[in-house]
Amino acid sequence: MPKTVIELDEYKRAEQAAGHILSCLAAKPHLGTPKIAVVLGSGLGDFANDLKDSVQIPYEEIPHFPHSTAVGHAGRLVVGKLGQLTVAAMQGRVHQYEGYTAKQASFPMRVFGLMGIKAVILTNAAGGINLAFGQGALVLISDHINLQSANPLIGPNDDRFGPRFPDMTEAYNRKYRRIAVDEAARLGFTLHEGVYAALSGPSYETPAEIRYLRTIGADLVGMSTVPEVIVARHMGITVMAISCVTNMAAGVTDKTINHEEVLEIGRQVRGKFIALLNAVMPRIAENL
């Protein structure tokens, strides 16, 4: 007789993934269960290497977890100590341009929610549209425009995750943004804020598309983050997001754009980026 294949619903898949991660952490009970997570975008993954006494889990070992294929994304979950704070850090994410759906790309947020994560910091490499942002600037996302032609909540709603129509009025937590601006000033640099436009990629935008995005109010452009934000808010996880302006968008300057430059600028701002996360995360954790 052929074996019967039982298709698990998304909630059960997320439960299994969360259970596997928590079982891996059981080997180091002093770590405890993280309440805060960070997703590290292109060229920004080094932060996770500084976490102490860490447990490192390749995405391939986590049931149902999407596997990252993008250059500059290590593809593993690292849970360790930042001072006295236990942090879960994703070294890389998946994108729709890799062939994943918006639902699949945001599945890690489902897993985090079932692990007990209460706050997430999302980071990405972005193209700068606003001329006030120079290459290498760190920019808080204050709002977004979803132009990826997809929403991860399309389809039947599972009330165990959240409501059918989640509010997105304050998708990016205002209090967290104030904390980040204050800490950046204390560290000696200005942290800008701006609106992030999400497109599908993987081709970079044309100059005409960038003119359009500027007209509709975008300051930054990228190929990620927004599905994760939508799902995090659906589950009641509070969100802060930081873009690193790794290149000026097409037509803003005469330069062409290549991914190696994106990764190199990420490496150049490593110190500033890590210092900001080190300052911000404990303050966010105080309010969880």
Confirm whether 68 is domain-assigned. yes
Task: Kindly state the percentage of the chain with pLDDT values over 70.
Answer: 92
Alpha carbons 194 and 124: distance in angstroms, whole number = 13
Confirm whether 101 is domain-assigned. yes
Confirm whether 245 is domain-assigned. yes
Of 47-61, 113-127, 266-280, which range is least confident? 266-280
CATH code for the domain of 188: 3.40.50.1580
Confirm whether 2 is domain-assigned. no
Q: At what angle do helices 259-268 and 270-285 cross, to 10 degrees?
A: 60
Confirm whether 239 is domain-assigned. yes
Confirm whether 3 is domain-assigned. no
pLDDT-derived band at 134, boundaries 50, 70, 90:
confident
- Check pLDDT > 80 for residue 266: no
DSSP 34-82: -SEEEEE-TT-GGGGGG-EEEEEEEGGGSTTPPPP-STT---EEEEEEE
Catalytic residues: 42, 73, 95, 97-98, 125, 223-224, 247, 259
| C-alpha separations of 258 from 246, 262, 265 in Å | 10, 7, 11
pTM of the model: 0.93
- Check pLDDT > 90 for residue 262: no
pLDDT-derived band at 5, boundaries 50, 70, 90:
very low
How many domains does one find in the chain?
1
Q: At what angle do helices 107-115 and 10-25 cross, to 10 degrees?
A: 60
Confirm whether 5 is domain-assigned. no
CB 187 within 8 Å of CB 279: yes
Which range marks the domain in which residue 243 is found? Answer: 10-285
For residue range 155-213, what is the model confidence (pLDDT) as tens digits?
Answer: 999 999 999 999 999 999 999 999 999 999 999 999 999 999 999 999 999 999 999 99
For residue range 62-116, what is the model confidence (pLDDT) as tens digits?
Answer: 999 998 776 655 789 999 999 999 999 999 899 999 999 999 999 999 999 999 9
